Chains A and B, each alone.
Chain A
């Protein structure tokens, strides 16, 4: 893919220029839908932007040495990784992509979680360390299901190229994989019932406890862009490709919004689970989805044998 198209994808659509307003919009949808469920008016439309600008204007506590440098770097790495992940989504087909970009996308989606773990430990706050330990356990628990789903989708259609995956017809196995990814999303986005790492009030704010000002603003932005990237990944894999690019973009936007609404409703309707229950839940999910995927694999290859 040539450089101009790659830059346009990273900086314009679906990269930074699209992902930042979309991140704010999704954060607003998350809060507004909870408000509507509780029969109140809720925050005004530009509320996440107000919060972001206000946080940019706040001071940060003085930090010296390598810890201070690392603490300033983690949110920046996290934001750039999630923005790049959003930029890789194949919303407009035949506009780029490279062999193996699915693996790159998965790696980029993991970086915010790693940054959160490292941020909590480098803040040296007791609550930050508890939050980071929880995040590490949670990452190990849900990633088995997540990677299993992604790998089975890719293996069944013999490609690790996102664009090719988006253009291939949707098989039953892909639906099973998407369901597994959907189950992992609440843990990936740290929302209820899996809001263990940043469990507000319980361990203050987890790994974010010592963050303030512009760094906290970057964490918020990174969280919003994780919403965009992970909901966008499910949306691009679930919808068939249309001939006109505008229809593609519209379908991508609408399906992402539906996913955000679904996850917010789930978050508002559930309470936080304990860490052992969460891990047990995801291990059980691994077993169930492994069986389902195996059955789907065997039956599809059997059907092919019969047809040939």
Chain B
């Protein structure tokens, strides 16, 4: 592996920019994600920045069980994030649709729509777990730079 690639791996691991998207969540996980970005948890130590535009982001953080109306939006936003990208599913809803299972307004879980890299289960998950999930996604991005054969979401990780 040459020097530029090593440098790129290192920088990707240390600069995860996230874009937050709600796909019909009850707002519990969104509050926890916002809490993870507050001064108390200081996610900026790891280089985490919340971006306003999906074009700027590396990691797409999706909450909610994916409703009928939000599914096309998820596809659009996923396409708008420029590669290399990773998806972090926050909460139990995107993983399994949680208590909303069998609801007729749902088309979830999330991995039926976009490839998910990291699941952070919990209802809602703690901010620490969300930060750890984002850090894991960043290291997955770095690993992909080192070994491009892996492709998108080749190894889904469940955390914690």
Contact = CB atoms under 8 A, between A and B. Distances in A.
Given A40-B44, A44-B14, 9 more contacts: A39-B39, A44-B45, A50-B10, A50-B14, A51-B15, A51-B47, A57-B11, A57-B12, A60-B82
B44 A35 contact: yes
Contacts of A43: 44-45, 47
A47 B82 contact: no
B95 to A, nearest CB: 27
Interface residues of B, number: 25
In terms of DSSP, what is the predominant structure of the interface of chain A?
loop
Interface in A165-214: 200-201, 203-205, 208-213
A38 to B, nearest CB: 4
A53 interface: yes
Contacts of B10: 50
A65 interface: no
Contact of A53 (B8, B45, B51, B52): B8
A35 B58 CA distance: 23
Contacts of B42: 35, 40-42
Contacts of B47: 43-44, 47, 50-51
Contact of A54 (B45, B51, B52, B58): B58
Most chain B CB neighbours (cut-off 10 Å) among A35, A51, A57, A205: A57
Interface size band for A: 20 to 34
Given A50-B11, A50-B15, A60-B82, A205 B44 contact: no
A53 B8 CA distance: 7
A115 B11 CA distance: 28
A199 B8 CA distance: 29
Contacts of A205: 51-53, 56
Interface of B: 7-8, 10-12, 14-15, 17, 39-40, 42, 44-45, 47, 51-53, 55-56, 58, 80, 82-84, 145
A162 to B, nearest CB: 36
A168 B8 CA distance: 48
Contacts of A35: 39, 42, 44
A59 B57 CA distance: 11
Most chain B CB neighbours (cut-off 10 Å) among A58, A200, A208: A58
A219 B13 CA distance: 22
A216 B83 CA distance: 14
